[in-house]
Chains A and B, each alone.
Chain A
């Protein structure tokens, strides 16, 4: 009888690969979500016009924001899905303990964040390409149209962090709901409430200011990573005594 001596790193890697293979469907949903967002973005987010008897001017603004937001929501949803009983139990069908299950999920969410960020940015470029060809009879402002490689990489980096943050929120939310089912109603209510507070800038501390308005890249990175880690850490603490395969 040969006793296996497994190292945690190996196990996490094994689980990670398993999740990638098992969840190829997620990529299709990402494709669908971003395509849909692209479609909506082609219409522009803002337009204004003015005109006189001899001249009329229409200004339309387009943005990649919608694609990014949709991607963030998608990541949130994926993260919540990973916390459901079904998905947790997939790990325990083979070899797992709660720590490796969580760590491999986090690793997976991290790589999804990176991947979806890249596709989001690329979709943004695709948007520009579509506009370039479809609106060839109009003037395109050069200022925001051409993006330098540096900006591309920066975008990918920042968006990855945002998506990771959203994933960690989703992961924690999903876990809390798994533990206390009634919260599945209460949490969305609280969230909407918080968003309203945000929107009206009622509170002293605003998440928008904390993250979005942070000028320093370094500080931003630290902030998002730290908050994500804390949230993931909470999940570990909460789920470490959970029973599985019931």
Chain B
């Protein structure tokens, strides 16, 4: 569905994306994870054909998405910057959307519309941030585009609405599979929903793997400082933190078969799994030190 090779995007001296290469298969849900400013939005807008690359190649549905009518007709991009003409109220917007999207499911749209408590004559501009995101989400789901892109769709949504959104997304995906890319900060909330994770850091792709693999990517070990340090020799250390007087917590890449968890337990070292959220934070941390340093 999407093929990206050596994609680079520069703004003046800043490289928003460098040599980004990956492939997204059709009918999958991929989470695009990264810090603010990592390049998530730039990447998504390039896929959507809103931006064009400075160099490198991007193919969506085997075409260059920039100015492609085929891609535009089969793609929808939902973010919190979506603007609609002020003269249109919410129900006007929905009927306009119906005209543009071949697969538009009116029943789903109306049901979601009622469920979330919208009124037909409301104005989009006057909605609160959370309600806007919710409404935009309704459009995104009901359009049933083969390529559906959500750029931080849950901004302003409260926890209950977010849960509903993920559930609605999953249910509609099961009923009508399509390629979905979802960028978010809340990996821990969406990881069950995702099939794959694309981790981006400072414009570069750090990781692209299934969520299950990501969960097993690393393990956390904790125990006496010396004991733990011994274990760290010639292992890939992703994170280290001192706890208390002489305890050390470290996160290391889990190369299966190299050592057994049992051995560590025997030595008196506690072994825990690392949440995908934490893992991504460790993997994308910069060298500028920890927040604690600010206060020391």
**Residues of chain B with a CB closer than 8 A to A97's CB:** 49, 67-69, 72
Q: Which residues of B contact A99 (CB under 8 A)?
A: 67
Q: A1-B26, A2-B103, A4-B102 are in contact. Are A243 and B87 (CB under 8 A)?
A: no
Tell me whether B100 is interfacial, beta carbon within 8 Å: yes
Bits for B98-112, please: 1 = Cβ < 8 Å to A, else 0. 011111000000000
Supposing A21-B88, A25-B87 touch, asked if A94 and B97 sit within 8 A by C-beta, the answer is yes
Flag whether B132 is at the interface (Cβ < 8 A).
Answer: no
Return chain A residues, CB-CB under 8 Å to B19. none
Could you tell me if A2 and B146 are in contact, using CB atoms closer than 8 angstroms? yes
Contact of B67 among A4, A14, A98 (CB under 8 A): A98
Is B83 in contact with chain A by the CB < 8 A criterion?
Answer: yes
Interface locus among B73-81, B164-172, B251-259: B73-81
In the assembled complex, the CB of A112 is this many whole angstroms from the nearest CB of chain B, namely 15
Interface residues of B in 80-122 (CB under 8 A from A): 81-88, 92, 96-97, 99-103
Alpha-carbon distance A4/B178, docked complex (angstroms): 13
A4 with B87: CB separation less than 8 A: no
Q: Which of A6, A11, A86, A95 contacts B83 (CB 8 A)?
A: A86
User: Given the complex, which residues of A lie within 8 Å of B85, measured CB to CB?
Assistant: 22-23, 90
Instruction: Tally B residues with Cβ within 8 Å of A.
Output: 37
Residue A135 is within 8 A (CB to CB) of chain B in the complex:
no
Task: Find chain A residues with CB under 8 A from B273 CB.
Answer: none
Measured CA separation A142–B49 after assembly (Å): 62
Number of A-B contacts (CB under 8 A): 86
- What are the interface flags for B43-83 relative to A under an 8 Å C-beta threshold, 1 for contact and 0 otherwise? 00100111110000000010000011110111001000111
- A1-40, CB < 8 A from B: 1-6, 8, 11, 14, 17-18, 21-25
Q: Say yes or no: is A204 at the interface (Cβ < 8 Å to chain B).
A: no
**Interface membership of A179, Cβ < 8 A:** no
Report the Cα distance A116→B129, complex, angstroms. 38
Measured in the bound complex, the distance between the Cα atoms of B184 and A11 in whole Å is 32
- What's the Cα separation between A18 and B84 when bound, in Å? 11
The answer to the question of B130 belonging to the interface, with a C-beta cut-off of 8 Å to chain A, is no
Is A90 a contact partner of B92 (Cβ separation < 8 A)? no
- Residues facing B in A70-122 (CB within 8 A) are 86, 89-90, 92-100
Q: In chain B, what residue has the closest Cβ to A243? A: B51
Q: Residue A45 at the B interface, CB < 8 A?
A: no
Task: Report the nearest B residue to A25, measured CB to CB.
Answer: B87
> Is there an interface contact between A4 and B50, defined as CB atoms closer than 8 Å?
no
Closest to B82 in A: A93
Q: Inside 8 A of A2's CB, which chain B residues have their CB?
A: 102-103, 146
The reply on A43 being an interface residue by CB < 8 A is no
B156: interface (CB < 8 Å) = no
Given A1-B27, A95-B101, A98-B67, A245 contacting B77 (CB threshold 8 A):
yes
Which of chain A's residues have a CB closer than 8 A to the CB of B178?
Answer: 1
Instruction: Say yes or no: B50 contacts A92, CB within 8 Å.
Output: yes
Provide the bound-state CA to CA distance between A8 and B67, in Å. 12
B96 touches A18 (CB 8 A): yes
- A8–B87 CB distance below 8 A: no
Contact yes or no, A3 B87, CB < 8 A: no
Contact B52 A243 (CB under 8 A): yes
Interface centre among B68, B84, B99 (most CB of A within 10 A): B99
- A200 interface residue per 8 A CB criterion: no
B145 and chain A: residue at smallest CB distance: A4
For the complex, give the distance between the alpha carbons of A5 and B63 in Å.
14
Residue of B nearest to A96 (CB): B72
List 10 A–B pairs whose Cβ atoms lie within 8 Å, in order of A's numbering.
A1-B27, A1-B146, A5-B73, A6-B102, A14-B100, A22-B96, A95-B72, A99-B67, A245-B50, A246-B50
Residues on A facing B (Cβ under 8 Å): 1-6, 8, 11, 14, 17-18, 21-25, 86, 89-90, 92-100, 240-241, 243-246
Given contacts A18-B100, A90-B85, A241-B52, list 12 more A-B pairs with CB under 8 A. A1-B26, A2-B102, A3-B61, A18-B96, A18-B99, A24-B87, A25-B87, A93-B83, A97-B49, A97-B72, A100-B69, A245-B81
The 3 A-B pairs at the shortest CB distance, nearest first, are namely A22-B85, A4-B102, A6-B73
